């Protein structure tokens, strides 16, 4: 199965000139969704991952399933003000603006191996912010996993010091 053919292009979203890669078509296809998750999972079965850090919001979809399958904890990285307990924060820039991510200050323990998961690697700012958050708490980034990578934006360069994997590259 070619996962790339299942993902829908939406022109001019969220603003003119951007072609949004809509993964809802993949999520709606049980066989494609299962294949994508199994391809992501197999790389980490023997890695002894302690936490999966999923980036809001689509990273929660993939990250939650991977944490369940790996038998480890899940850490949600959310936009500011969304988490109920004390947080740490990292600001970043993305292809069409800037934002920040937060995680609970007690979500990762020193020495824990952390797998970061998101649906899309664009400019790399969001993934770098997630990695820096994990490291601030003493975590070791074991890998950063994406469904899609927009190679022409060179986001991989920003996070090159970490192991990176993408199922689909445009």
Say which of 4, 8, 91, 95 is annotated catalytic: 95
Nearest in space to 149 (alpha carbons), one of 164, 169, 163: 169
Is 102 assigned a catalytic role? Answer: no
CATH code of 46-169, in short, is 3.40.50.2020
Query: Which residue is catalytic, options 58, 102, 145, 156?
Result: 58
State yes or no: pLDDT of 97 exceeds 80: no
Q: Which helix (H) or strand (E) holds 131?
A: helix 125-136
Write down the residue that tokens 């010091």 correspond to. Answer: 161
How many CA atoms lie less than 13 Å away from 144 in the CB half-sphere? 26
Q: What mean pLDDT comes out for the span 4-8?
A: 97
Domains of the chain by residue range: 46-169
Distances (CA, A) of 95 to 32, 125, 152: 27, 9, 12
How much is the mean pLDDT over the chain?
Answer: 96
| Percent of the chain's residues with pLDDT above 90 | 93
Instruction: List, for residues 111-138, the tens digit of each pLDDT value.
Output: 999 999 999 999 999 999 999 999 999 9
In the residue annotation, 140 being an active-site residue is answered as no
């Amino acid at each position: 199965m070619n996962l790339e053919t299942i993902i829908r292009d939406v022109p001019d979203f969220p603003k003119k000139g951007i072609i949004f890669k809509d993964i809802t078509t993949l999520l709606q296809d049980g066989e494609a969704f299962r294949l994508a998750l199994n391809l992501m999972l197999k790389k980490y079965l023997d890695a002894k991952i302690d936490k999966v850090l999923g980036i809001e919001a689509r990273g929660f979809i993939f990250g939650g399933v991977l944490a369940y399958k790996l038998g480890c904890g899940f850490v949600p990285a959310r936009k500011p003000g969304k988490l109920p307990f004390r947080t740490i924060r990292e600001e970043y820039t993305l292809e069409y603006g800037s934002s920040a991510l937060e995680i609970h200050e007690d979500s990762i323990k020193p020495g824990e191996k952390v797998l970061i998961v998101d649906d899309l690697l664009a400019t790399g700012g969001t993934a770098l912010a997630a990695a820096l958050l994990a490291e601030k708490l003493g975590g070791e980034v074991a890998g950063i996993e994406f469904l899609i990578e927009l190679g022409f934006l060179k986001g991989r360069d920003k996070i090159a010091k970490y192991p990176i994997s993408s199922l689909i590259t445009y």
